[in-house]
Structure 1
């Protein structure tokens, strides 16, 4: 199976007309346009990032308009990717200052945050979302064409992108500013640190749910909220003395 699947699991190597799909067309349009800065709508991307924190449902209202005008659920403007890359780069510089990294180490950290934390994890997450949604959540009574009743891999990556930004604000920025607090050895600081991780991953899970529930041909999307239960249970258990922040940062930064 290709790492970047096509529109539907039923058509892995051909489009609807049966014509073989080229390798370049397997790459989402948003990635193929990364070099076209003059065509990017950064104002819209800023608006989307803002509302992903304030009112995320408003962002997904544009999905229907995009489908009607461009015949795809996924965004084709990579401006939001550029903004996320820049945000992660800024976060990497800030964390590098805290840990007294050299300039080379700071660049390496930025690449890790962008390539591993966002893109690699995003590709894996999008593939799982794409596979699960098309196998489990698609309504059997849908009479639409295959392209209209299946989740595009590119849209699944969009959902990951939208869900990632609130997590970024919580764990890459808020945690950074709260380091003097969460590193203290008392239960209140443990509570604050562990709550940050609960909030970050709960926001991500909820963002995935919002993204897929916005598609009219999907049913039972509430299943996507199921991970919240073990997440909250783990959080409660961690309050007995497991300091999530200290363990995660030690594994992440090695100190």
Structure 2
């Protein structure tokens, strides 16, 4: 039996159906064809399937957001290469962050001596206003600004809104831990005393929190090759430092003021 030795002409090869290949499609083939809505649906559908979540990796991300946030975003780049999207496809980090929100809010309620119903109201405020509400607003603003003004190619690939919200979640975790955990350790015995030293330390907690949020947000967008001039996102840092010294000059204890605001929001 003789086999043909001449190659198949290119025009005939182009007419072959692509689906006839027995080999699997590349890893990013199906992801490229998915809409943002379908990706969001897949993400939300997995939120109650705990057996499919990688909680060990989520905990690793939380630790490294404190000590080396660059490594977290390096893994976001790996996801882009393998799954053709920067945004998370595993809701484990969101679940862990929600649990930490509840635990830290419980500690906050204990320090402030809130009753059960007041704790529930406080928790609802923290989740739906401070985290989700502010997150939707901030993520949408960054998503719009980056796509409108920072893209290298205005007609090329754009920043995913889901990725913008992921950046917010990453940047939200360190301030949450600083303000709802480390600050509370010193609140009753030191920060609530009203002295000038407590003003310095209490305001420094807020300075660190906002600085962490700005820096991690900057890292999130600077790692995207489709964006340029992302250093502009660091502009609030010197303004933040200046504001810190202004509050010290005025003797304004931000920790004490915002704690009183939390209490007013819950009790009133």
TM-score range, shorter chain: 0.7 to 0.9
Answer yes or no: is the 8 Å Cα contact 2:191–2:255 preserved in 1: yes
Q: Which is worse superposed, 79-88 or 177-186?
A: 177-186
- Cross-structure match for 2:255: 245
Note the aligned Cα RMSD (angstroms). 2.1
Instruction: Write the distance in 2 (CA, Å) between the matches of 1:222 and 1:31.
Output: 33
Q: Unaligned regions of 5+ residues in structure 2, if any?
A: 1-31
- Structure 2 residue 213 is matched with structure 1 residue 204: yes
What does residue range 1-255 of structure 1 map to in structure 2 within 5 Å?
Answer: 25=38, 27=40, 29-140=42-153, 146=156, 149-179=157-187, 180-240=189-249, 241-254=251-264
More helix by share: 2
Q: Unaligned regions of 5+ residues in structure 1, if any?
A: 1-15
- Cα deviation for residue 107 of structure 1 reads 2.3
Which is greater in Rg? 2
Residue 117 and residue 30 in structure 1: after superposition, are their counterparts in 2 closer, same or farther (change >3 A)? Answer: farther
Answer yes or no: is the 8 Å Cα contact 1:28–1:154 preserved in 2: no
Residue 80 and residue 71 in structure 1: after superposition, are their counterparts in 2 closer, same or farther (change >3 A)? Answer: same
- Cα deviation for residue 164 of structure 1 reads 0.7
Q: Secondary structure at the match of 2:182?
A: helix
- Cα deviation for residue 26 of structure 1 reads 7.7
TM-score, normalised on structure 2? 0.81
Aligned length: 232
Q: Secondary structure at the match of 1:68?
A: helix
- Cα deviation for residue 27 of structure 1 reads 4.0
